[in-house]
Amino acid sequence: MENQEATSRFLRACHRQPVDATPIWLMRQAGRYMSEYRELRKSYGILEIIKNPELACEVTMQPIHAFDLDAAIIFADILPPLEGMGLSLEFVKGEGPLIHNPIRSAADVEALRTPQPEESLGFTLEAIKLARRELESRGVPLIGFSGAPFTLACYAIEGGSSRNYRYAKSLMMSEPALWHRMMAKFSVIVGRYLLAQARAGAQVLQIFDSWVGALSPDDYRQMAMPYTQQAISIAKQASVPIIHFGTNTNGMLELIRNAGGDVIGVDWRIDLDVAWGRLGPHVAIQGNLDPVALFASWSELTDRAGRILGLAGGRPGHIFNLGHGILPETPVDNVRRLVDFVHEYSSRQANNQTGEEYDR
Amino acid sequence: MENQEATSRFLRACHRQPVDATPIWLMRQAGRYMSEYRELRKSYGILEIIKNPELACEVTMQPIHAFDLDAAIIFADILPPLEGMGLSLEFVKGEGPLIHNPIRSAADVEALRTPQPEESLGFTLEAIKLARRELESRGVPLIGFSGAPFTLACYAIEGGSSRNYRYAKSLMMSEPALWHRMMAKFSVIVGRYLLAQARAGAQVLQIFDSWVGALSPDDYRQMAMPYTQQAISIAKQASVPIIHFGTNTNGMLELIRNAGGDVIGVDWRIDLDVAWGRLGPHVAIQGNLDPVALFASWSELTDRAGRILGLAGGRPGHIFNLGHGILPETPVDNVRRLVDFVHEYSSRQANNQTGEEYDR
What are the DSSP calls for B160-199, one per residue? B--SS-HHHHHHHHH-HHHHHHHHHHHHHHHHHHHHHHHH
> Taking residues B221-242, what's their average pLDDT?
98
> Taking residues B332-351, what's their average pLDDT?
95
DSSP A6-21: HH-HHHHHHTT---SS
Q: What is the pLDDT of residue A5?
A: 46
Q: Say which amino acid occupies B301.
A: L
pLDDT above 60 for B17: yes
Q: Which residue of chain A is at minimal alpha-carbon distance from B174?
A: A296
pLDDT above 90 for A99: yes
pLDDT above 60 for B126: yes
B300 closest CB neighbour out of A173, A251, A296? A173
pLDDT above 80 for A355: no
Percent of chain A with pLDDT over 70: 96
Spatial separation of the C-alpha atoms in residues A335 and A340, rounded to whole Å: 9
What is the overall mean pLDDT for chain A?
A: 94
pLDDT above 80 for A324: yes
pLDDT above 50 for A246: yes
Cβ partners under 8 Å of residue A165, min gap 6? A154, A158, A211, A214, B292
Cβ partners under 8 Å of residue A353, min gap 6? none
What is the band of B62 on the pLDDT scale with cuts at 50, 70, 90?
Answer: very high
Residues in chain B: 360
Spatial separation of the C-alpha atoms in residues A176 and A160, rounded to whole Å: 22
Residues of B with CB under 8 A from a CB of A: 164-166, 169-170, 173-174, 213, 215-219, 248-252, 267-271, 274-275, 290-293, 295-297, 300, 304, 307, 327, 329
A170 closest CB neighbour out of B217, B252, B296? B296
pLDDT above 70 for B359: no
What is the band of B1 on the pLDDT scale with cuts at 50, 70, 90?
Answer: very low
Spatial separation of the C-alpha atoms in residues A200 and A51, rounded to whole Å: 16
* Selected residue with higher pLDDT from A136 and A2: A136
Q: What is the pLDDT of residue B352?
A: 64
Size of interface A-B (CB pairs under 8 A): 109
Cα separations in angstroms, A269 against A56, A275, A287, B153? 32, 10, 11, 19
Return the DSSP state at B326.
Answer: P
For residue range A261-305, list pLDDT tens digits in order.
999 999 999 999 999 999 999 999 999 999 999 999 999 999 999
**In this prediction, does ipTM exceed 0.90?**
yes
> Taking residues B285-295, what's their average pLDDT?
97
pLDDT above 70 for A120: yes
pLDDT above 80 for B7: no
Q: What is the pLDDT of residue A352?
A: 63
pLDDT above 50 for A3: no
What is the band of A193 on the pLDDT scale with cuts at 50, 70, 90?
Answer: very high
| Whether B173 and A307 lie within 8 Å, measured CB to CB | no
Task: Name the strand (E) or helix (H) holding A206.
Answer: strand A204-209
Spatial separation of the C-alpha atoms in residues A90 and A46, rounded to whole Å: 10
pLDDT above 90 for A148: yes
Task: Name the strand (E) or helix (H) holding A80.
Answer: helix A80-84
Q: Identify the burial level of A336 via C-beta atoms within 10 angstroms of its C-beta, where 0-12 means exposed, 13-18 middle and 19 or more buried.
A: middle
Are B34 and B66 a contacting pair, CB within 8 Å? Answer: yes
Hey, what domains does chain B have and what are their CATH numbers? 3-350 (3.20.20.210)
Return the DSSP state at B97.
Answer: E
Q: What is the pLDDT of residue B94?
A: 79
Q: Which of B44, B163, B178 is nearest to B110 (CA)?
A: B178
Q: Which of A205, A204, A90, A93 is nearest to A147 (CA)?
A: A205
Q: What is the pLDDT of residue A53?
A: 98
End-to-end CA distance of chain A: 38
Spatial separation of the C-alpha atoms in residues B56 and B74, rounded to whole Å: 7
Are B256 and B264 a contacting pair, CB within 8 Å? Answer: yes
Are B228 and B221 a contacting pair, CB within 8 Å? Answer: no
Q: What is the pLDDT of residue A4?
A: 47
What is the overall mean pLDDT for chain B?
A: 94
Spatial separation of the C-alpha atoms in residues A96 and A78, rounded to whole Å: 13
Percent of chain B with pLDDT over 90: 92
> Minimum mean pLDDT among A95-99, A244-248, B296-300, B301-305: which range?
A95-99
| Whether B215 and A269 lie within 8 Å, measured CB to CB | yes
For residue range B220-230, list pLDDT tens digits in order.
999 999 999 99
Q: What is the pLDDT of residue B6?
A: 55
For residue range B91-111, list pLDDT tens digits in order.
988 788 999 999 999 999 999
Spatial separation of the C-alpha atoms in residues B169 and A86, rounded to whole Å: 40
Residues of A with CB under 8 A from a CB of B: 164-166, 169-170, 173-174, 213, 215-219, 248-252, 267-271, 274-275, 290-293, 295-297, 300, 304, 307, 327, 329
Q: Which residues pair with B91 in a beta bridge?
A: B97
| Whether B269 and A252 lie within 8 Å, measured CB to CB | yes
| Whether B307 and A218 lie within 8 Å, measured CB to CB | yes
What is the band of A6 on the pLDDT scale with cuts at 50, 70, 90?
Answer: low
pLDDT above 70 for B3: no
Q: Where are the alpha helices (DSSP H) in chain B?
A: 3-7, 9-14, 35-41, 46-51, 53-66, 80-84, 106-111, 117-120, 122-136, 149-158, 166-174, 176-200, 217-219, 225-235, 253-259, 272-279, 298-312, 332-350
Q: Which of B128, B159, B320, B308 is nearest to B243 (CA)?
A: B320
pTM over 0.90, yes/no: yes
Residue B351 three-state SS: coil
